[in-house]
Amino acid sequence: MVTGFRDMVDFPILSIMTFLPLAGVFIILMIRGEAEDVDRNAKHMALYTSLFVLAFGLFLFKGFDGSSADFQFVEKVQWFSSFGFSYHMGVDGISVFFVLLSAFLTPICIIASWDSIKTRVKEFMVAFLMLECLMIGTFCALDSILFYVFFEGVLIPMFLIIGVWGGPRRVYSAYKFFLYTLLGSVLMLIALLTLYVQGGTTDIPALMDVDIAKNMQLWLWLAFFASFAVKMPMWPVHTWLPDAHVEAPTAGSVILAGVLLKMGGYGFLRFSLPMLPDASLFFAPMVFWLSVIAIVYTSLVALVQEDMKKLIAYSSVAHMGFVTLGIFTVTTQGVEGAIFQMLSHGLISAALFLCVGVVYDRLHTREIGRYGGLVNNMPRYATVFMIFMLGSVGLPGTSGFVGEFLTLVGAFQVDTIIAALATTGVVLGAVYMLLLYRRVIFGPQDNKDAAAMADLNIREIGVLVPLALLVLWLGVFPTTVTDRIAPSVDKLIRNYEADINADPVAEKTTIEDVIIIPNIIIPEGGSL
């Protein structure tokens, strides 16, 4: 059972993965010399640091016991001892792949920015490594305050990345991103503090066992929802995403679509479902309808976009709709599908934004109409782009299929109408992606500049091919992921159903119950 890696019990691999990027930041800040040398050394340093983190990530993957539903690689140290917070890190099947995704996408982003970021290179690399630290920390944290610190801290580097290196409307987009997300998050903070007061602990595994009164659950659920729904983003609070994506530099879009959006889904799985099961059941129909609207509506919106990045951004909202749909079915297929869909979308949308970045670097426009017939002068690009396009459509054999299929299977078990409506989104997804592909890759070569563009260079191939291989691998061997997440998902669903069944009046809540201001009893020892 026990592998060699887990014998090294005291080896704090999660902390190392989280804080190694910060060590890189310090070294980069120390670099002195000519501007050109500084830029070059900063880039190399950032790349090596992120590759080291990725290497640790591979050890983590190897050492992770996929048959266990418990938290693994746990570290726990006292922190803010007078308040009883702790520095508690650990991963289970739900979080481990998000850690890997973050560790995998960061070096890709750094390579992708190698030539396209020309100003303030050192600062850019610092911001990216900080982002990596915070992302990995978010997925590893097992203390609610620690989680919030990482979750919210992400805003700082991302605000700067959009605002400093973004496009013409970058200031507006950076503000919108920051304030939208902050507004949701602060409500979550109040909810976390309430949970702390109710449960007397900030330890996430311990909080999962705390029973909370039904009325209180509903309020807390809404507060969490405010944060995670914005982060996902769900319709109708998704409007920050297209702006942020369009204005962010390529690497910023990649990390935004690839990892940051997943924090919302991860939050639902970590907080809403296990801690607030009654409220999750109560609000599930609302989430279903919001998800379906997101899937259908944003697909239609994507259909009429002229800006490539905007189109992919809207498609992200639609794909995230499948995720929320799957999560709140609380079926094995639905939840596993949601996690799989998040991972798959993390790879595919990241790759699509990189593909846009490739042509944007050459022609400096994202307008679809300015391209056409690229298959003639960029055959390699056309091939890679096709793989990701088909992955986004959800063609069997790519990772996109597995995620969408599983979530829909989960949805069918709960509500056939919802599932049927969501399935139309798959069709619409095919329409807008194929349309995009046809207009960019095929068709006449009207624009001389576009016709003169060079095909992928070695660096771009090095970035895109690993992503393509992963997308195909996960499409053919999805069990690589699903086997490892299954025990944790099963445990989540078992606990959820046990909680629901323990409370027979759960179904009977009416809206009047919700409006009553909650009456809280602080449990014994719960006060501070």
Q: How far apart are CA 71 and CA 270, in angstroms?
A: 12
Q: Would you say 79 or 442 has its CB closer to another protein?
A: 79
Q: Quick check: 402 binds another protein (CB under 8 A)?
A: no
The tally of CA atoms less than 13 A away on the side-chain side of residue 369 is: 3
* Choices 149-157, 279-287, 357-365, 496-504; region in contact with another protein by CB under 8 A: 149-157
Contact pick of 46, 136, 142, 145 for another protein (by CB under 8 A): 145
Q: Quick check: 83 binds another protein (CB under 8 A)?
A: yes
Q: Would you say 162 or 406 has its CB closer to another protein?
A: 162
Q: How far apart are CA 342 and CA 374, in angstroms?
A: 30
Q: Quick check: 149 binds another protein (CB under 8 A)?
A: yes
Q: How far apart are CA 501 and CA 189, in angstroms?
A: 29
Whats the size of the chain, residue-wise?
528
Q: Quick check: 515 binds another protein (CB under 8 A)?
A: no
Q: Would you say 48 or 175 has its CB closer to another protein?
A: 175
Q: How far apart are CA 156 and CA 151, in angstroms?
A: 11
Q: Tell me, residue by residue from 314 to 353, as one string, x for binding to another protein by CB under 8 A and - for no binding.
A: ----------------------------------------
Distances (CA, A) of 476 to 395, 444, 464: 11, 35, 19
List the beta strands (DSSP E) in 44-130.
Answer: 72-78, 86-91
Q: Quick check: 81 binds another protein (CB under 8 A)?
A: yes
Q: How far apart are CA 489 and CA 222, in angstroms?
A: 23
* Choices 154-162, 257-265, 296-304, 491-499; region in contact with another protein by CB under 8 A: 154-162
Contact pick of 17, 98, 112, 170 for another protein (by CB under 8 A): 170
**How many other C-beta atoms are found inside a 10 Å radius of the C-beta of residue 168?**
9
Pick out residues in 181-200 that bind another protein (CB under 8 A): 182-183, 186-187, 189-190, 193-194, 196-197
Q: Would you say 69 or 263 has its CB closer to another protein?
A: 263
Q: What angle do CA 508, 509, 515 make, to 5 degrees?
A: 160
* Choices 55-63, 80-88, 401-409, 419-427; region in contact with another protein by CB under 8 A: 80-88
Q: Would you say 14 or 359 has its CB closer to another protein?
A: 14
Pick out residues in 413-472 that bind another protein (CB under 8 A): none
Q: How far is the CB of 223 from another protein (least distance, A)?
A: 8
Report yes or no: 246 and 310 within 8 Å, Cβ to Cβ: yes
List the beta strands (DSSP E) in 41-187.
Answer: 72-78, 86-91
Q: Quick check: 31 binds another protein (CB under 8 A)?
A: no
Contact pick of 128, 139, 148, 385 for another protein (by CB under 8 A): 148
Q: Would you say 42 or 471 has its CB closer to another protein?
A: 42
Q: What does 315-355 look like in DSSP terms, one character per residue?
A: HHHHHHHHHHHHHHHTSHHHHHHHHHHHHHHHHHHHHHHHH
Q: Tell me, residue by residue from 472 to 491, as one string, x for binding to another protein by CB under 8 A and - for no binding.
A: --------------------
Indicate the residue type of 134: L
Q: Quick check: 153 binds another protein (CB under 8 A)?
A: yes
Q: How far apart are CA 332 and CA 410, in angstroms?
A: 7
Q: How far apart are CA 428 and CA 67, in angstroms?
A: 38
Report yes or no: 21 and 52 within 8 Å, Cβ to Cβ: no
* Choices 93-101, 163-171, 255-263, 268-276; region in contact with another protein by CB under 8 A: 163-171
- Cα-Cα-Cα-Cα dihedral of 308, 128, 341, 73, to 10°? 180
Q: Would you say 81 or 510 has its CB closer to another protein?
A: 81
User: For residue 168, how far is the Cα from the chain centroid?
Assistant: 26
Q: Quick check: 59 binds another protein (CB under 8 A)?
A: no
Q: Quick check: 77 binds another protein (CB under 8 A)?
A: no
Give the interface size with another protein as a residue count (CB under 8 A): 39
Q: Would you say 194 or 423 has its CB closer to another protein?
A: 194
The kind and range of the H/E element at 52 are helix 35-63
Q: Quick check: 175 binds another protein (CB under 8 A)?
A: yes
Q: Name the nearest CA neighbour of 316 among 398, 383, 253, 222.
A: 253
Q: Name the nearest CA neighbour of 430 among 342, 308, 302.
A: 302
Q: Quick check: 213 binds another protein (CB under 8 A)?
A: no
Tell how strand 72-78 and strand 86-91 pair up: antiparallel
Contact pick of 121, 129, 160, 230 for another protein (by CB under 8 A): 160
Contact pick of 82, 444, 505, 510 for another protein (by CB under 8 A): 82
Residues binding another protein (CB under 8 A): 80-83, 145, 148-150, 152-153, 155-156, 159-160, 163-164, 170-171, 174-175, 178-179, 182-183, 186-187, 189-190, 193-194, 196-197, 219, 517-518, 520, 522, 527-528
